[in-house]
Amino acid sequence: MNKSTLNKLLLSRSLYQLAKENVQTTSGLRLSISCNLLQDAVECFLLALSENVNADIGQGTQFDKYFQQINLKIAPRELPFRLRLISLNKLRVNSKHYGLEPAKSELEPLFTTVWEFFNEVTRSDFGKEFATLSLVDMLRDSEAKDLLRDAEAAFEAFEYPKCLILCRQAIFVKFEWGYDAQQFLTGQPLGLMALGSKVPYFARDKNYLDENVKEPTDYVIYDHNAFEMELMKSGVDSVAYWNVWRLTPEVYRKSKDAPWVVKNDLRKLDSDGIKDRAEYVLLATTEILLADDQNQTRTRSPDYRRFYLTLKNDAVPVFEKASKASSIIQTTPAGVKKLYCDYSIDGLDEDGIFWHVTHWEDDTNIFGFIHEDALDS
């Protein structure tokens, strides 16, 4: 199911809910509004279905022709409730074009028909329950998707604070974890381990962290210029991202297996207006993750593999640069003969080939250049 089809299905569900709100009245005008909205919901659903089965539905197609064209594509099956839904269309035509208000007793039973139609067709043609359709379905499987799924369930259960927290946790595992400065608290060089970090360099300092980190969530330290560029490259709406950031309580997790820390911000979790905030955050977070997913889908890179080289001896020098004249930053430990590497290159001083080592295993971190003379041929 593509995004356009899913959007139409979600719109049809929203229109149905709006129609249901308006039918609970004795006002003739509100009943007419309800009738038109319910008809729009069905037509939007049929457009999504026709898109899914590639039915020949053009602009200006008459309502009853939708059924004919779709039935041709799904034969020998046929769409259910055709006559009942055509009767709804007649009520809508009378209301919209002739000003005839529908009778509540005639309109109300059609809500059951429409809902059953939505459910039956969604199960048969989309393999899902109509009520569970969501943009979250379009996300790639990940922890962030699971958290958003839980956030949806929390919203539907009226647990709005939980929904906000789960959305922020999804943001954390998708974006904020790369800005976690906790690993630099030891003050020890991390070597290759630091390469995956996006923490700004001024914050990779134990003294800075000791002075500025007052609570666990303070370990998330953005490099704002780099992050704005990251959002732009991913096609993520920067305004939406920072809106979610402002509307949700801060969270932190020092490792994937560690428990979550939640900053229970009283202002952000205030019950006044929380439903509207949670609804906005849930939709915006989903859109943010979708944009990032789509960017990653478009990105192409070689498959990941680990390559290694074998050393002749112990205590092989590891140079800072591809040059024997550069500093020796370390020597290989005794007994370590196999090192992981990612490329080779001519030396700066034309003194042979150097191999770039990127080795981290069993608490051994080696990062630098090794000359080809040290290799076991």
The mean pLDDT value for 25-34 works out to 83
For 243-269, what is each residue's pLDDT tens digit?
A: 999 999 999 999 888 999 999 999 999
Verify that 175 and 91 share a domain, yes or no: no
Verify that 348 and 257 share a domain, yes or no: no
CB 252 within 8 A of CB 261: yes
Give the count of beta carbons closer than 10 Å to the beta carbon of residue 41: 25
Residue-level pLDDT at 245: 97
Residue-level pLDDT at 192: 46
CB 190 within 8 A of CB 183: yes
Q: Which of 298, 326, 354 is the last residue of a domain?
A: 298
Among residues 329, 322, 333, which one has the least CA distance to residue 370? 322
Number of H helices, E strands in the chain: 11, 8
Q: How far apart (Å, rounded) are the C-alpha atoms in residues 55 and 74?
A: 9
- Mean residue pLDDT across the chain: 88
Verify that 154 and 238 share a domain, yes or no: yes
Verify that 168 and 289 share a domain, yes or no: yes
Residue-level pLDDT at 345: 94
Q: pLDDT band at residue 302, thresholds of 50, 70 and 90? A: low
For 133-189, what is each residue's pLDDT tens digit?
A: 777 877 888 999 999 999 989 998 899 999 999 999 999 999 999 999 998 887 655
Give the count of beta carbons closer than 10 Å to the beta carbon of residue 67: 18
Q: How many domains is the chain built from?
A: 3
Verify that 225 and 326 share a domain, yes or no: no
What amino acid occupies position 34? S
35, pLDDT greater than 80: yes
SS3 33: helix
> Strands of 338-346's sheet, edge to edge?
307-310, 338-346, 353-361, 364-371, 317-319, 328-331
Domain that holds residue 337: 307-374
Q: Which of 133, 168, 194 is the last residue of a domain?
A: 133
Among residues 55, 104, 63, 70, which one has the least CA distance to residue 87? 63
Q: pLDDT band at residue 84, thresholds of 50, 70 and 90? A: very high
Beta strands in the chain (DSSP E): 251-252, 261-262, 307-310, 317-319, 328-331, 338-346, 353-361, 364-371
Rg (CA), the chain: 30
Residue-level pLDDT at 271: 95
Q: pLDDT band at residue 95, thresholds of 50, 70 and 90? A: confident
110, pLDDT greater than 60: yes
The reply to whether the predicted model has a pTM over 0.75 is: no
List % helix, strand, coil for the chain (3-state, nearest 5): 55, 10, 30
Give me the CATH number covering residue 351.
Answer: 2.30.30.40
Among 50-54, 61-65, 93-97, 362-366, the range with the most confident prediction by mean pLDDT is 50-54
Contacts of residue 180, defined as CB under 8 A and 6 or more positions apart, other chains included, come to: 197, 199, 219, 220, 252, 254
Q: Which of 133, 151, 181 is the last residue of a domain?
A: 133
Verify that 9 and 86 share a domain, yes or no: yes
Contacts of residue 361, defined as CB under 8 A and 6 or more positions apart, other chains included, come to: 340
Element (H, E) at 58: none
Which one is predicted more confidently, 288 or 191? 288
Q: How far apart (Å, rounded) are the C-alpha atoms in residues 195 and 197?
A: 5
Give the count of beta carbons closer than 10 Å to the beta carbon of residue 13: 19
Q: How far apart (Å, rounded) are the C-alpha atoms in residues 282 and 244?
A: 9
Give the length of the chain.
377
